A and B are shown apart, each in its own frame.
Chain A
């Protein structure tokens, strides 16, 4: 197995046993980027020099510490990619927008500091839809990211580059932001694991804001175990983000090996009605059956206000975007407002309209009330079940260019993911197989606020029981 194909757990083991060095591991990832990223366009910036410098430092540390000390650095020497929405001190941070083309942050996001303190090597900044606005990656001002499984198809967005980079083994793990599905959708389209944590579980400080009451900070990995390992590092209270509760953080890796026997899984009937691709429906229900064979029970659940979620989302999100993007005036940093791309302009316009005098009650206030009803739907469902399992997208990946001129059609691809952000609960996307056309598919496991442990437990059980299936061993041909 090539070094760049390793998981975090495997890489840690190899580094600790001196089978290879962090410099070798980092070089393997950098070589892979050079080899395939011309086709994929997953990275906006590759920080080769800094990465190798830090890898050398990590190797030095690896040679000089005890095993106990090593455990304080859960990512020591491991190369990761950061979505270009994460502020990185001294490293250009663009949000994939021309507005921030030359912007060099003066400080690190809290999560970046935590990852660095854990020993991670930052290998580059990944491409995304500009300002994280989009479902396909095509809204990037630096060109679209391609799906490594078939470069004619979109990788899903907005965290397109981070998901594609993991699928194509260009780094060991990567980070994303999820405001309406921006981690789960690309994870789903790229055959990787993606976590949208509970709102507030991970600090938003230093991450370029999209819609502040929904933005969730998560990550992409090759396995559920790796996913839990990263949340152990990123989760927790931050005095710079008042929405992060002072709540105890469990060791998320501890729940991984727990049996799913007796857990109740809800299948929301509204998510399996018209509009859902037949193959996705079958595969998702099959995944639930597999979990049943391990002793979990599936029951029908109902989320009656589902049909109003998308409309609610497309009022709240543009409203908050118009406010957050008001700061980009080209004076303190960035370029003038004419440099915004079409999607950002559309959302600024829509949000300015829905917040403007005379319209606030009819739009924003109304949407915030609908949000309460959506939250009550989930509260009631979780009285009867431990988790909910659903599709991530109503269709498999689509071809590049297919939806770019029809914003509403593009928005409809987020129908199963956006509600989760409005309600603030966590969602874990895990791969479940491929379509007839060899395109990846995943499912999302949803739980009540702060129930990430249960999501990992179920995701890991599914991964374990399917580990010998043929599709698990596939690699994209590039």
Chain B
């Protein structure tokens, strides 16, 4: 199984060096080869399990409760402007 490391890195928004790409290509391919063994198991009639203790549709009252203040929420941001997060532009001007 060959993995297109550059494409996946782009999807993951993960900048990788050429050296890293080469290293991960080999390492990830060996993991993907290992997990191939699951194909041997017939799961055509098996339901998926995502919640192991069987809880379903856990809801709460739609009531407002205290939360972080704007100042607290911004505390760890490196770049802010007028009480807001400053983010890089995603569209060209």
Chain A residues in contact with chain B, CB under 8 A? 102-104, 106-107, 198-200, 213, 239, 242-243, 245, 305, 307-308, 310-312, 314-315, 322, 326, 329-334, 337-338, 340, 342, 345-346, 348-350, 352-353, 356, 363, 365-373, 375, 407-408, 411, 422-424, 449-450
Contacts and interface: CB of A to CB of B under 8 A. Distances in A.
Interface in B14-73: 14-16, 20, 23-24, 27-28, 30-32, 34-39, 41, 43, 46-53, 55, 58, 60, 68, 72-73
Contact of A424 (B43, B53, B68, B85): B53
Given A242-B58, A337-B14, A349 B5 contact: yes
Given A311-B36, A345-B20, A449-B53, 11 more contacts: A314-B34, A330-B78, A331-B79, A349-B3, A350-B31, A352-B14, A369-B47, A371-B49, A408-B27, A422-B52, A423-B52
Given A243-B55, A332-B85, A345-B24, A370 B31 contact: no
B91 interface: no
Nearest to A350: B28
B84 to A, nearest CB: 11
A307 B40 CA distance: 11
Nearest to A305: B41
In order of increasing CB-CB distance, the 10 nearest A-B pairs are A424-B52, A333-B76, A368-B48, A369-B43, A242-B58, A352-B12, A311-B35, A369-B46, A372-B49, A371-B49
Contacts of B31: 314, 350, 407-408, 411
A371 B47 CA distance: 9
A349 B35 contact: no
Contacts of B48: 365, 368-369, 371-372
A356 B11 CA distance: 8
Nearest to A353: B8
A349 B24 contact: yes
A345 B3 contact: no
Contacts of A314: 31, 34-35
B89 interface: no
Contacts of B27: 346, 407-408
A375 B52 contact: yes
Nearest to A362: B39
Contacts of B50: 213, 368
